[in-house]
Chains A and B, each alone.
Chain A
Amino acid sequence: MYDFAYHKPASVADAVKILAADPDARPISGGMTLLPALKLRLNKPTSVVDLSGIAELHGVKREGDKLVIGALTRHGDVASSAEVKAAIPTLAAMAGTIGDTQVRNRGTMGGSVANNDPSADYPAALLALGATIQTDKRKLAAEDFFTGMFTTALEVGELVTAIHIPIPTKAGYAKMRNPASRYSMAGVFVAQTASGVRVAVNGAGANGVFREKAMEAALSANWSPDAVAGVKVDPGLLNGDIHGSAEYRAHLVTVMAKRAVIDAG
């Protein structure tokens, strides 16, 4: 990789100050996405700002009818968190399937959310659960935050600090992994929330994570696997690669939606 300067601020304010002053600086939390990209020399930041020393960004807590998860909370900690398991067991289970053990020991929810990899798990969960992404400046609803493949509403120097997740009545998740990379090739998160049934899809969308409104309507009318079994997704909206054509992914979205409903119970 190319060399860069390294900073390890102790507060969000200090981190933001460095990042705002230099558009080519990059924040790093777990580094599970940034470091592989740097190793392949796909990225040439002037400096890397390590957020891991910012104590306020760690941890999971329950605040009334929602979970508040610090941006630096690792996938492994989400997976094993008693609060998450009690409130949204599917979210804990999903976190336990992100990457591999070593990724879960380093990777963070904030990092995953800010990166918005189309095949990452969390964005679909947050979109389906109607989560709010809190940054150092503002709060954004998940649908306003995730704007497209690898893109978010974050401005230069803006940091995700926490994720607020309303606790759903029910939620379920199922995904088909890419056989080689093991990232999601088609994953569906379904939830019964205070604002209705929400269904979000990762891995398949040509423009990243998206809500599947026809499935939401079908499940609102009849919460059962059969209700989504007949809902077809338009392959024209999906991406394809050697492991899964758009047509195959469209089919998988329906299958995973069924399985997510079964998972939700």
Chain B
Amino acid sequence: MNVVTPFEGIGASLRRKEDFRFLMGRGQYVDDINRPGQTHAVMLRSPHAHATIDRIDTVAAKAMPGVKAIFVGEDMAAEQIGGIPCGWQIHNKDGSPMAEPMHPALALGKVRHVGDPVAVVIAETKSQARDAAEAIVVDYTPLPAVSGTEAALQPGAPQVHDGAPGNLCYDWHIGDKAAQEAAFARAARVVKFETTNNRLVPNAMEPRAAIGDFDSFSGDYTLYTTSQNPHVIRLLMGAFVLHIPESKLRVVAPDVGGGFGSKIYHYAEEAIVTWAAGKVKRPIKWTCERSESFMSDAHGRDHVSTAELALDAEGKILGLKVHTLANMGAYLSTFAPCVPTYLYATLLSGVYATPVIYAEVKAVFTNTVPVDAYRGAGRPEATYLLERLMDVAAAEAGLDKVDFRRRNFILPDQFPYQTPVALQYDSGDYHSTLEACLETAGWAGFEARRAESKTRGRLRGIGISTYVEACGIAPSAVVGSLGARAGLYEVGTIRVHPTGSVTVLTGAHSHGQGHETTFAQLIADKLGVPTANVDIVHGDTAKVPFGMGTYGSRSLAVGGSAMDKAMDKIIAKGKRIAAHLMEASVEDVEFERGTFRVAGTDKTKTLTDISLAAYVPHNYPIDEIEPGLEETAFYDPKNFTYPGGCHICEVEIDPETGRTEVLNFTAVDDVGRVINPMIVEGQVQGGVAQGIGQALLEAAIYDASGQLVSGSFMDYTMPRAGDLPDVGVATHVTLCTHNPLGVKGCGEVGAIGSPPAVMNAVVDALRDYGVRHVEMPATPQKIWGIVNAHRLAAE
């Protein structure tokens, strides 16, 4: 019996359905899966940032106990195994395509970053594979390496790829340069600001893993992998790398322990274990060790930027000019080229009515791990640049930083708002989120708190960030015109079973987002089926027709909309069946939450009545419609969605040690319609934690020779519970105008809005020290350096 309580639908903080298995140790992550006859793979990785491979001697290693096979790059090349493909092509200013060097799964003749895989050892046990990997002799001739973003473009810098002269991947621009120059020419003031957006390591708590399996009888391959988008992996790996038809390749992404972008991409190890499983005719499991993750998972951020803001005499923004260098690492990861372009420069208008913008972006190759999208992907970099610049500009213009923002906001009646950098924001209410956040954070009472801190010898600062982002990626035609090599719709199938329970097949993938709960709430709300009777199936290409996966806060806005559209089809068909059963015309049948009713009568049929009739069509309009009650919809959004809001952070610095403590963090976000407030708050809190991590703690640091100095949790500072504050989250809703649910997405807002709020607070705390800017992360050592330099200057 389908009885739904009002608490289960849209707006309910329903406790999560998936929690039981996770809390009882019954989750099934890739490394929890063992296939019969499974062997184990270990990757031998380059210790050099840049070197030629002169010889690989595997003879002794192959004779080690338990070793089944060892493969090197030439073994894959001999079978015409393709390079790891890039999914996005950017064009240079002159219209020519970006440099796109080959990315072999196993290195061919040369290694280009520490961690570049050189050989794979397959053995009966993981220990045996590790023992044998140590016995492989590789003769390298080290080459000069380049790791720095700016250093890569210097004349005479070591060349990472022959096919990318000067290490330039692309030189791209957006906006109207002439208009920008004209605006600057009439400006009362131009404020210039330079900054580096620190490179980060995503560090989802579950390390990547992959199991390749091959059925020699059927010729079917199966890959179990830690992926955010199994269908994309099947497409990229099957079509471009291993040349296996989709029908012969199944990709399963079971429970996945966090992604944050790092598990979007098709990684070499997936192709290696799948291909090698066909060679050794045994399943092969590879599980990444954490220290190995640091040198093989795609990193995030790593921009060096200069921004100039032109203001008129009243503090209105006249124009913005941005120049950015973006580090791609040694190879192009799946989405890498679009991150510093279409996910970054298109967002430079922020929440402000900026009449003209011109941005140019150069992407460079370096001897470092590839860089790709990490939570927010381009939008945190844009937001950080702009929101720090707004504070710097307000200070230089002598304006109150909040008033300066208010003065330049896009107003509610200006939506839809066309920015000068391609995006058209559909809705927003920046004043409301600002005022609510100021109120909750106690902005007005700050100076008294600062004075109190001072009595304890501490420096208190407060910082604000008002932001918008573009997510729910994306209209396929638009992204296609911008260089995407795939569509970015989503697919949903609603299968109503004979007795009324529902199975939903979705191309979105949950790795912490709580889809099994939120999506079930959508079904409960519209079809009136209790969430207990709704099962969400995802993460298996053999079960789900197709899908583009989960990233860019798209699951609900795109995947949820596909489900909504599929439910519309279910309802439409249900109405025809109901009309037949109730001897009414289809036009007269209404549907609401599980009940079909002949309008204006008390004649009703439940969804279960209809589904039973659909599968047991004894009394059924069989000449007009087919039996069954299952519908699939592909939803391709008309636009991005534009969540936004305001974040305020309050910090206290101990000037003696340089340590910054985050005292309070307040977020008021507009993520569109909220399906499950509890989950939305959790998503924002998690994003904010990563933003605070970027601002104060985290940095992937390469030395000049290309060694990753912060290559484990011993040196890379992961935020711990004691490093973080309570994070207060509230929402203020304006609906997305172009998707059926009115939702915008909440997965990335926390990581996008927070870093500048934190850094603006840090700079504010140091206001008596004459500090204009502090680079992220604001580590104790860095802050002490500022305090100490000020003290020395005063002496």
Contacts and interface: CB of A to CB of B under 8 A. Distances in A.
> Do chains A and B make direct contact within the complex (CB under 8 angstroms)?
yes
B785 interface: yes
Interface in A141-175: none
Given A243-B781, A244-B781, A248-B785, A180 B713 contact: yes
A179 B701 contact: no
Contacts of B131: 2
B717 A180 contact: yes
A255 B657 contact: yes
A2 B134 CA distance: 11
Contact of A180 (B134, B656, B658, B710): B710
A176 B780 contact: yes
A221 interface: no
Given A180-B713, A180-B716, A242 B785 contact: no
A195 interface: no
Contacts of A255: 656-657
B44 to A, nearest CB: 14
Contacts of A176: 657, 659, 780
Contacts of B291: 40
A120 interface: no
B656 A243 contact: no
Interface residues of A toward B: which range?
10 to 19
A248 B781 contact: yes
A242 B710 contact: yes
Given A179-B780, A251-B784, A242 B709 contact: yes
Given A242-B709, A252-B657, A255-B657, A179 B785 contact: no
Contacts of B788: 251
B794 to A, nearest CB: 16
A240 B780 CA distance: 14
A61 to B, nearest CB: 34
A244 B291 CA distance: 22
B284 to A, nearest CB: 22
Nearest to A247: B788
Contacts of A3: 127
A180 B779 CA distance: 11
B187 to A, nearest CB: 40
Nearest to A256: B657
A222 interface: no
Given A179-B779, A180-B710, A243 B784 contact: no
Interface in B90-140: 127, 130-131, 134
B715 A242 contact: yes
Given A242-B701, A242-B709, A242-B710, A180 B718 contact: yes
Contacts of A241: 715
B653 interface: no
Nearest to B715: A180
Interface in B761-795: 779-781, 784-785, 788
Interface in A162-207: 176, 179-181
A2 B130 CA distance: 10
Nearest to A176: B657
B715 A243 contact: yes
B714 interface: yes
Given A243-B779, A255-B656, A255-B657, A179 B710 contact: no
A245 interface: yes
A200 B134 CA distance: 42
A259 to B, nearest CB: 9
B697 interface: yes
A67 B715 CA distance: 36
Contacts of B785: 248
Nearest to B134: A41
A233 B596 CA distance: 82
Interface string A219-252: 0000000000000000000000111110010011
A90 B781 CA distance: 27
B777 to A, nearest CB: 9
Contacts of A40: 291
B697 A179 contact: yes
Interface in A36-76: 40-41
A38 B716 CA distance: 21
A162 B115 CA distance: 45
A181 B657 contact: no
A181 B784 contact: no
Contacts of A181: 713-715
Nearest to B723: A179
Contacts of A2: 131
Contacts of A242: 701, 709-710, 715
Nearest to B654: A255
A27 to B, nearest CB: 23
A40 B713 CA distance: 14
Contacts of B127: 3
Interface string B697-736: 1000100000001100111111000010000000000000
Given A243-B779, A244-B781, A251-B788, A180 B657 contact: no
Nearest to A40: B291
Nearest to A182: B720
Contacts of B717: 179-180
B718 A248 contact: no
A48 to B, nearest CB: 16
B576 to A, nearest CB: 62
Interface in B629-673: 656-659
Contacts of B781: 243-245, 248
Contacts of B718: 180
B721 to A, nearest CB: 11
B407 to A, nearest CB: 38
A255 B714 CA distance: 24
A50 to B, nearest CB: 21
Contacts of B130: 41
Contacts of B779: 179, 243
A180 B780 contact: no
A79 to B, nearest CB: 17
Nearest to B656: A255
A180 B714 contact: yes
Nearest to B701: A242
Nearest to B714: A181
Contacts of B697: 179
A244 B658 CA distance: 11
Nearest to A243: B781
Nearest to A249: B781
Contacts of B784: 248, 251
- The listed residue with most B CB atoms (<10 A of its CB), out of A180, A181, A244, A248, is A180
Contacts of B709: 242
B461 to A, nearest CB: 19
A244 B710 CA distance: 13
A255 B658 CA distance: 11
Nearest to A39: B289
B656 to A, nearest CB: 5
A41 B131 CA distance: 10
Interface in A1-40: 2-3, 40
A3 B128 CA distance: 11
A95 B134 CA distance: 39
A101 to B, nearest CB: 12
Nearest to B703: A242
A41 B135 CA distance: 14
A243 B781 CA distance: 7
A3 B130 CA distance: 12
B653 to A, nearest CB: 14
Nearest to A2: B131
Given A242-B709, A251-B788, 14 more contacts: A2-B131, A40-B291, A179-B697, A179-B779, A180-B716, A180-B717, A180-B718, A181-B715, A242-B710, A243-B715, A245-B781, A248-B784, A248-B785, A251-B784
10 contacts: A41-B130, A179-B697, A179-B779, A179-B780, A180-B716, A241-B715, A242-B710, A243-B779, A248-B781, A251-B788
Interface of A: 2-3, 40-41, 176, 179-181, 241-245, 248, 251-252, 255
6 closest A-B pairs by CB: A180-B717, A179-B717, A181-B714, A255-B656, A248-B781, A180-B715
